[in-house]
C-alpha cells in the first residue's frame, strides 16, 4: 500500500476550532480519508457519495467488502436522501436517541453506493453526538461513511493514538480530540425486519430502546451460536480480536476471581506472562499475583470506556495471554459482554 504522510491535528473536543474542521472537511470533499473522534470510537471517514473514496476505506483498513459501513449524518433532513422510507418507529427513536450511539438500518435509496451497503438494499445510519464529528459532517456538507479506524479484525480505537497505531502512513489526517467517552460502538438496530431487532448491542441499551419501542428484540448470542444465523456481516465471531489470545471467564464474581487466579498461577508456573482485565472491585484479590493487571473501573460506563484501551495495553505489554472477567448482561453490560465474547473468539470458561 502506498505511503501517505499522516498529519495529526489536536482539536478541542467541545469547541472544535473552525479552521481545523474546514481543513478536514475539504479533504473529505476531495475524496480523501479523515480519522475523527466520535463519542463511541474513532471513525475512518469518507464522502459516502464518492464510491472511489469509499473504496479507499476498505483498502486502508483491509476490510472485507462484504462488511457494510455506517453512514454518519449531522441533521435529520439528511436522512431523506439516503432512504426510501422513514418509518414512524425511526422517528420515535431518532427523537429519543439522536444525536447518540444508535445506528438504524433502513431501506436504502438508490443514491447510496452499493459499496457502502455491501450490496444490501438497506443502509445503516447514525447521527453521532460528538461535537467534532457533527462539525466535520456539517462542514463537509455530505454524509460521511465511517467504520472504526482500526485494521480489520483488530480492536476498535478509542484514542487517536490507537488509530495511528493501526493506520499511520495510510491516511492524510487524524483529528485528535482525546479519548472517546462511550468507548464501545453504537447499537445497530434493524428496522427493516418485522420486529425491530438489535444486530449489535452498543452504546444505547436494550432497556432504553424498549422504553420507546417495547417490542425491540435481541437474542443473546451465547458462544455456542455465535456463528449461526449471522444477519450482519459485522457479527463475525472474531471481530475485535486483540493480537494475543484472550479467555473470558463467565459466572458469579467470586468464582470468576478464583478461576482466573488459579489460571494465572498455573500459567506463571509454566513461565508464561499473563495479563488480566478486571474491575476495580477485583483489584485487591489480584495484587501481588504477578499478573499484568488492567483495571477497567467500577461502573459499566467506566468499563465500556476503558475496555478497548485495556485490550490494547495488555497486548502491547508482552503478555502471551489475556484473561478477562465478564460483566452482568444489563444496560451497557450487554455491549461489554458482546465485545468480550468477540475478543475471546469463543474461548469462554463458564463457571
The site for Mg ion (CB under 5 A) is made up of 147-148
Burial class (CB in 10 A: 0-12, 13-18, 19+), 288: exposed
**Omega of the bond prior to 99 within 30 degrees of 0, cis?**
yes
DSSP state of 225: G
Which residues are CB-neighbours of 313 under 8 A, at least 6 positions away?
294
Residue 345 interface partner, choices Mg ion, ligand AMP, none, CB cut-off 5-8 Å depending on type: none
Beta strands in 26-94 (DSSP E): 34-36, 43-47, 70-72
Q: How far is the CB of 139 from Mg ion (least distance, A)?
A: 24
Q: Which of 37, 143, 147, 242 binds ligand AMP (CB under 6 A)?
A: 147
CA distance 69 to 236: 15
Q: Does residue 101 interact with ligand AMP by CB under 6 A?
A: no
Q: How far is the CB of 61 from Mg ion (least distance, A)?
A: 8
Residue 21 or 311: the one with the smaller Cβ distance to Mg ion is: 311
3-state class (DSSP) for residue 46: strand
Residue 50 or 122: the one with the smaller Cβ distance to ligand AMP is: 122
Residue 102 or 291: the one with the smaller Cβ distance to Mg ion is: 102
43 φ, ψ to 5°? -110, 155
Residue 95 or 231: the one with the smaller Cβ distance to Mg ion is: 231
Q: Does residue 188 interact with ligand AMP by CB under 6 A?
A: yes
CA distance 339 to 185: 9
Q: Considering CB under 6 A, how many residues would be counted as binding ligand AMP?
A: 18
Q: What residue has cell string 450482519?
A: 232
Residue 106-125 contact track with ligand AMP, rule CB under 6 A, x = bound: -----------x--x-xxx-
Q: In 293-349, where does DSSP find H-type helix?
A: 300-316, 333-343
Residue 200 interface partner, choices Mg ion, ligand AMP, none, CB cut-off 5-8 Å depending on type: ligand AMP
Residue 72 · residue 146 · CB < 8 Å: yes
3-state class (DSSP) for residue 100: coil
Residue 183 or 234: the one with the smaller Cβ distance to ligand AMP is: 234
Residue 67 interface partner, choices Mg ion, ligand AMP, none, CB cut-off 5-8 Å depending on type: ligand AMP
Q: Which of 22, 67, 76, 301 binds ligand AMP (CB under 6 A)?
A: 67
3-state class (DSSP) for residue 276: strand
Q: Does residue 68 interact with ligand AMP by CB under 6 A?
A: yes
Q: Which of 11, 46, 83, 105 binds ligand AMP (CB under 6 A)?
A: 105
Q: Which of 33, 53, 70, 204 binds ligand AMP (CB under 6 A)?
A: 70
Q: Using alpha carbons, list the distances in angstroms from residue 343 to 89, 106, 247, 314, 323.
A: 33, 28, 8, 13, 11
Closest-CB residue for Mg ion? 148
Residues that bind ligand AMP (CB under 6 A): 67-68, 70, 105, 117, 120, 122-124, 147-148, 185, 188, 199-200, 232, 234-235
Amino acid at each position: 500500500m502506498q505511503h501517505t504522510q499522516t498529519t495529526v491535528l489536536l482539536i478541542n473536543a467541545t469547541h472544535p476550532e473552525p479552521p481545523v474542521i474546514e481543513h478536514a472537511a475539504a479533504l473529505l470533499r476531495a475524496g480523501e480519508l479523515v480519522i475523527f473522534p466520535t463519542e463511541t470510537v474513532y471513525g475512518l471517514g469518507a464522502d459516502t457519495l464518492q464510491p472511489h473514496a469509499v473504496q479507499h476505506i476498505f483498502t486502508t483498513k483491509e476490510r472485507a467488502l462484504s462488511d457494510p459501513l455506517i453512514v454518519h449524518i449531522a441533521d435529520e433532513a439528511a436522512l431523506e436522501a439516503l432512504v426510501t422510507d422513514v418509518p414512524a418507529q425511526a422517528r420515535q427513536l431518532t427523537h429519543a436517541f439522536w444525536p447518540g450511539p444508535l445506528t438504524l438500518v433502513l431501506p436504502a435509496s438508490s443514491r447510496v453506493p452499493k459499496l457502502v451497503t455491501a450490496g444490501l438494499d438497506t443502509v445503516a445510519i447514525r447521527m453521532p453526538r460528538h461535537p467534532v464529528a457533527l462539525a466535520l459532517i456539517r462542514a463537509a456538507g455530505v454524509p460521511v461513511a465511517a467504520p472504526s479506524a482500526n485494521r480489520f479484525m483488530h480492536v476498535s480505537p478509542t484514542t487517536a493514538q490507537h488509530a495511528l497505531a493501526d493506520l499511520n502512513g495510510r491516511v492524510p489526517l487524524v483529528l485528535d480530540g482525546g479519548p472517546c467517552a462511550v468507548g464501545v460502538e453504537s447499537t445497530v438496530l434493524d428496522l427493516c425486519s418485522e420486529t425491530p431487532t438489535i444486530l449489535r448491542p452498543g452504546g444505547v441499551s436494550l432497556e432504553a430502546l424498549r422504553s420507546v419501542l417495547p417490542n425491540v428484540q435481541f437474542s443473546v448470542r451465547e458462544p455456542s451460536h455465535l456463528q449461526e444465523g449471522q444477519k450482519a456481516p459485522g457479527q463475525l465471531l472474531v471481530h475485535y480480536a486483540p493480537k494475543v489470545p484472550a479467555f473470558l471467564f463467565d459466572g458469579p464474581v467470586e468464582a470468576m476471581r478464583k478461576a482466573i487466579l488459579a489460571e494465572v498461577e498455573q500459567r506463571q508456573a509454566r513461565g508464561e506472562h499473563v495479563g488480566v482485565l478486571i474491575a476495580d472491585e477485583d483489584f485487591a484479590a489480584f495484587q501481588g499475583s504477578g499478573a499484568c493487571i488492567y483495571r477497567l473501573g467500577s461502573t459499566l460506563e467506566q468499563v465500556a470506556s476503558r475496555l478497548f484501551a485495556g485490550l490494547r495495553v495488555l497486548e502491547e505489554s508482552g503478555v502471551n495471554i489475556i484473561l478477562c472477567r465478564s460483566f452482568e448482561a444489563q444496560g451497557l453490560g450487554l455491549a461489554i459482554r458482546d465485545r468480550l465474547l468477540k475478543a475471546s473468539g469463543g474461548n469462554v470458561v463458564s463457571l
